[in-house]
Amino acid sequence: MDIRNRIISFLLSLLIPEAAIIVIAMLPVFELRLSIPIAVFQFHFSVMKACVLSIIGNIIIIVPLLVFFRCLFHELENIGFIGKFFRWWFSSVSRRSKVIEKWGFWGLVFFVSIPLPGTGAWSGAIAANLFNFQIKKAFAAIT
């Protein structure tokens, strides 16, 4: 059983399908790229319902991420194995965020709107922190 099926099975054992889609949309890496296809093909939701639930899940997580990364950004880099992962992730986002450095707010909007792995709400929150965006502006750009 692949990771996608394990996640679906686990979430379905705990949650109704609508809540499972919202939670999947909150997860790093997966976000909307996985929640919408699962909603449509696994649960047979309409595309509209899949998009609405996924967007709700993706928006719910943004403010906590912005606050979390703002408060714990430097501490995360110093926590053993987890720190190694965060150092890699932060440097990866930093390397790919030249558009944000050049265009500011609109660069962040563009960065998070590209449907590629590592350019969603989680990476957008990291980039917003790297470039010291105000939380309100970062939230507006990421949503």
pTM: 0.78
If we measure between CA atoms, which residue out of 90, 91, 111 comes closest to residue 101? 111
CA gyration radius, the chain: 16
d(Cα 66, Cα 12) in Å, to the nearest integer?
28
54 and 66 in a single domain? The answer is no
The last residue of one of the domains, among 43, 59, 75, is: 59
Are 26 and 61 contacting, i.e. CB atoms less than 8 angstroms apart?
A: yes
d(Cα 123, Cα 53) in Å, to the nearest integer?
21
Structural domain boundaries, residue 55? 3-59
Instruction: Render pLDDT for 11-30 as a digit per residue (tens, 0 to 9).
Output: 778 889 999 999 999 987 77
Instruction: Render pLDDT for 40-96 as a digit per residue (tens, 0 to 9).
Output: 998 999 999 999 999 999 999 898 889 887 777 777 777 877 788 888 888 888 887
94 and 53 in a single domain? The answer is no
If we measure between CA atoms, which residue out of 142, 102, 136, 140 comes closest to residue 119? 142
